[in-house]
């Protein structure tokens, strides 16, 4: 959460918002007339101390004020920070739309705003404001006395802050969203040349939770290059599993950094095409470049060589070029793996940013791994409509976000369903507590067909299928086994226990290379980890194919072979036991609750449950007590076990 700032800024009941180039003198005159430094007004030029966090300080000052004075002119409505200040002041009005239809109530959530009009015709400025503000007789910006009198009168009428006008938890959400947005460069027009002409638009305010990732990208492929004319261009690859938002991150990088840092142009290649599709895009790029380089007209049929020459000539002008390679095809056993240079024939001359589900192992490419969204950003993306936020509390929205594994693609699908009323927030909350996430996402995708533009949303299951289907058969079996474990790091010793047919270098490379397993810190206390499987991928694999009984028995035997009585009773081994426990608990719950009775492994599961019931005694501590009870009960009454596990189940990732 964004911290609250010092009492000096928090205690000012009046916030003055203005464009410095045009309204500075008028704003300072009002500030001084209201008492200056010891008065009631906040003016950023005077009130911000060196070292203060600029966007956060302004957001907090507005939310903690009771009056917002807007010096409106044409330039004000063109300045990014001015507009964000106005957006913050208008937040109570925006949150009231649809919930307070009466005119008096709408006026009440705008009462704190005072408009100072410019000299001359002010109609154009007023068009940017809500109707309740447009129809009032406002003073001019140079009428300082009239403004002071109006401010004092409104201070008597408005006894609560902007923060208090907001409903529920919207204040903290607004603080976080505005401060994150303010920390990002705003989207700007793309430089020319760029390809394709119909570039997808920026997500704007819907781009959340990726501020740090965006700057990691920029540092890796731009900042570290130094002087463009003295060093070769760098390349980086955004690497993560399906649905993590890699394409959106690359797109926002182009919109927010392209015009300033890549004046030589921005080029986008969709890589998962056959050779004719790639050639079509190469020729499109070449035609765009030829408009800038008339001496480099097409000469023959070697399009890659010609395009490389054109890029080299363009880069020689000292104007960096950004070349994005989106969705590199995943390697398959039967096909030759293509290097990045196959998709960008001008490596070293242009800055390359690739997106891939696989891991690129190329010396010239810097890997940039992408994690799921932070929980607060997931909730923001899920509730991207003010009317939705009031239907559930923050913890309930967080429960739904956790169910999706904070996966942007899944959150986008659910947000669209909520906005189109295909499902209500309460219905979705109930589903997340009882349904498979991938089954529900498939259901919502089906409901959205015909209501959203083709291509606006991708099917989550189809995206996951691409990675799973690209695995060799032995790695697919390993993935099915691992899908029964929890979402915590899998101890490497537990994976060893699966047997040599599963644990091999080939399998590890395939699972990691296709982002089925994400690299992760070790389990702790020097325990080596195989990695983690995202809960949505695990859910998809478990629900796609019925796991054979012999595989469930294999998991049982592997758990039993490493969680031995000696280890469980030896306190020196408890770090390992605790690392295995989430996977044992997840498997027990899954095998009991998610499979049919006739598919339950017989001797393997029963034997392990019997052993666990004897070993996981209450004396070993509360963390194991629910598991001990569950193990005992399953041997006698499966229905009662289901009830127990549904109330005490661990992370079901």
Is residue 271 over pLDDT 60? Answer: yes
- Residue-wise DSSP of 133-175: HHTS-PPBTT-HHHHHHHHHHHHHH--S-HHHHS-TTHHHHHH
- Residue 619, number of CB atoms within 10 A of its CB: 7
Peptide bond into 594 cis (omega under 30): no
Return the half-sphere exposure (C-beta side, CA atoms, 13 A cut-off) of residue 252: 24
d(CA 579, CA 588): 15
pTM tops 0.75, yes or no: no
Q: Do domains 7-166 and 194-369 have the same CATH topology?
A: yes
From the number of C-beta atoms within 10 Å of its C-beta (0-12, 13-18, 19+), residue 9 rates as: buried
Q: Where are the alpha helices (DSSP H) in 514-564?
A: 535-544, 549-562
Tokens read off for 348? 């070293």
Strand partners, 15: 42, 68
- Residue 124, number of CB atoms within 10 A of its CB: 13
**Dihedral angle over CA of 261, 267, 272, 275, nearest 10:** -140
Q: Label residue 35 left, alpha or beta by phi (over 0 means left) and psi (-120 to 50 means alpha).
A: left
Is residue 250 over pLDDT 50? Answer: yes
Domain extent listing, the chain? 7-166, 194-369, 375-462, 471-648
113-116: strand order across its sheet: 41-42, 14-17, 67-71, 113-116
Higher pLDDT, 634 or 578: 578
- What pLDDT shows up at residue 623? 42
Is residue 145 over pLDDT 60? Answer: yes
The C-alpha angle 401, 448, 243, rounded to 5 degrees, equals 45
d(CA 28, CA 50): 19
3-state helix, strand, coil in the chain (%, to 5): 55, 10, 40
- What pLDDT shows up at residue 455? 58
Average pLDDT over residues 10-22: 87
d(CA 399, CA 24): 47
Does domain 194-369 match CATH 3.40.50.300? yes
- Residue 388, number of CB atoms within 10 A of its CB: 16
d(CA 605, CA 609): 6
d(CA 84, CA 197): 30
Is residue 193 over pLDDT 70? Answer: yes
In b/e form, how buried is each residue of 330-367, taking b as 16+ CB within 10 angstroms?
A: bbeeeeeeeebbebbbbbbbbbbbbbbbbbbeeeebbb
User: In 3D, which of 373, 418, 367 has the Cα closest to residue 534?
Assistant: 373
Higher pLDDT, 295 or 208: 208
User: In 3D, which of 428, 427, 447 has the Cα closest to residue 382?
Assistant: 428
Q: Band the pLDDT of 647: cuts 50, 70, 90.
A: very low
Q: Band the pLDDT of 300: cuts 50, 70, 90.
A: low
d(CA 562, CA 496): 10
Phi and psi at 250, nearest 5°, equal -65, -40
The beta-strand segments (E) located in 44-149 are: 67-71, 113-116
d(CA 285, CA 321): 12
Q: Which of 483-492, 501-510, 560-569, 604-613 has the lowest mean pLDDT?
A: 604-613
- What pLDDT shows up at residue 625? 53
CB-based contact 106:93 (threshold 8 Å): yes
CB-based contact 368:349 (threshold 8 Å): no
Is residue 166 over pLDDT 90? Answer: no
Share of the chain above pLDDT 70, in %: 77
List of residues 6+ apart from 163 with CB closer than 8 A: 63, 64, 171
Average pLDDT over residues 454-479: 78
Q: What is the pLDDT of residues 74-123, one digit of tens each?
A: 899 888 778 888 888 888 887 665 554 566 677 788 999 999 999 888 88
CB-based contact 414:404 (threshold 8 Å): yes
Share of the chain above pLDDT 90, in %: 21
List of residues 6+ apart from 25 with CB closer than 8 A: none
Angle between helices 437-448 and 425-432 (to 10 degrees): 150
Q: What is the pLDDT of residues 583-592, one digit of tens each?
A: 877 787 676 5
Q: Band the pLDDT of 72: cuts 50, 70, 90.
A: very high
For residue 639, the Cα-to-chain-centroid distance in whole angstroms is: 39
Higher pLDDT, 252 or 163: 252
Q: Band the pLDDT of 257: cuts 50, 70, 90.
A: very high
Strand partners, 14: 41, 67
Q: What kind of architecture, by CATH, is found in domain 7-166?
A: 3-Layer(aba) Sandwich (3.40)
Is residue 413 over pLDDT 60? Answer: yes
Higher pLDDT, 349 or 447: 349
- What pLDDT shows up at residue 395? 87
Is residue 374 over pLDDT 50? Answer: yes
């Amino acid at each position: 959460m964004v911290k609250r700032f010092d009492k000096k800024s928090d205690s000012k009941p009046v916030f003055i918002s203005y464009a410095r180039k045009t309204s500075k003198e008028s704003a300072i005159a009002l500030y001084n007339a209201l008492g200056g430094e010891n008065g009631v007004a906040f003016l950023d030029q005077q009130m911000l101390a060196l070292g203060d966090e600029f966007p956060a300080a302004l957001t907090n000052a507005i939310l903690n004020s009771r009056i917002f004075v807007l010096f409106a002119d044409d330039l004000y409505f063109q300045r990014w920070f001015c507009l964000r200040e106005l957006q913050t002041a208008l937040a109570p009005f925006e949150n009231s739309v649809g919930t307070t239809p009466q005119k008096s109530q709408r006026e009440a959530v705008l009462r704190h705003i005072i408009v100072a009009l410019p000299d001359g015709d002010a109609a154009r400025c007023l068009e940017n404001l809500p109707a309740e503000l447009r129809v009032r007789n406002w003073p001019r910006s140079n009428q300082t006395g009239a403004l002071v009198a109006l401010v004092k009168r409104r201070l008597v009428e408005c006894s609560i802050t902007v923060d208090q006008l907001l409903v529920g938890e919207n204040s903290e959400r607004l603080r976080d969203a505005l401060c994150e947005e303010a920390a990002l460069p705003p989207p700007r027009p793309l430089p020319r040349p760029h390809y394709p002409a119909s570039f997808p638009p920026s997500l704007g305010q819907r781009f959340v939770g990726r501020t740090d990732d965006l700057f990691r990208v920029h540092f890796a492929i731009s900042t570290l290059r130094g002087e463009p004319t003295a060093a070769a261009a760098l390349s980086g690859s955004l690497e993560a599993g399906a649905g993590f938002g890699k394409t959106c991150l690359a797109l926002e990088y182009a919109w927010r950094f392209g015009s300033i840092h890549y004046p030589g142009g921005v080029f986008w290649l969709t890589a998962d095409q056959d050779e004719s599709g790639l050639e079509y895009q190469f020729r499109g790029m070449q035609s765009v470049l030829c408009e800038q380089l008339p001496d480099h007209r097409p000469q023959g049929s070697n399009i890659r060589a010609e395009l490389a020459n054109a890029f080299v000539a363009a880069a020689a002008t000292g104007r960096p070029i950004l070349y994005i390679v989106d969705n590199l095809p995943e390697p398959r056993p039967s096909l030759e793996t293509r290097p990045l240079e196959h998709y960008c024939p001008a490596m070293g001359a242009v800055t390359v940013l690739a997106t891939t589900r696989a891991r690129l192992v190329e010396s010239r490419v810097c890997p940039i791994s992408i994690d799921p969204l932070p929980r607060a950003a997931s909730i923001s993306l899920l509730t991207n409509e003010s009317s939705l936020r009031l239907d559930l509390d923050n913890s309930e929205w967080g429960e739904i976000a956790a169910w999706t594994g904070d996966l942007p693609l899944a959150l986008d699908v659910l947000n669209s369903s909520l906005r189109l009323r295909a499902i209500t927030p309460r219905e979705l909350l109930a589903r997340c507590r009882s349904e498979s996430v991938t089954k529900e996402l498939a259901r919502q995708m089906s409901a959205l067909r015909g209501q959203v533009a083709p291509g606006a949303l991708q099917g989550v299951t189809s995206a996951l299928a691409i990675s799973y289907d690209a695995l060799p058969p032995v790695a697919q079996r390993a993935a099915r086994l691992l899908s029964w474990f929890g979402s915590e790091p899998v101890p490497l010793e537990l994976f060893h226990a699966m047997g040599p047919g599963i644990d091999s270098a080939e399998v590890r490379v395939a699972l990691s290379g296709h982002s089925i397993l994400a690299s992760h810190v070790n389990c702790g206390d020097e325990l080596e980890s195989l990695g983690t499987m995202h809960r949505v991928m695990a859910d998809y694999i478990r629900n796609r194919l019925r796991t054979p009984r012999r595989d469930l028995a294999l998991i049982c035997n592997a758990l039993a072979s490493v969680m031995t009585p000696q280890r469980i009773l030896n306190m020196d081994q408890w770090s390992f036991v605790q690392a295995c426990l989430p996977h044992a608990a997840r498997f027990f719950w899954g095998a009991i609750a998610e499979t049919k009775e006739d598919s339950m492994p017989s001797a393997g599961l029963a034997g392990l449950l019997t052993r666990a019931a004897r070993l996981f005694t209450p004396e070993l501590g509360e963390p194991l007590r629910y598991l001990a009870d569950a193990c005992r009960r399953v041997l006698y009454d499966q229905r009662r076990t289901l009830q127990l596990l549904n109330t005490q189940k661990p992370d079901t990732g």
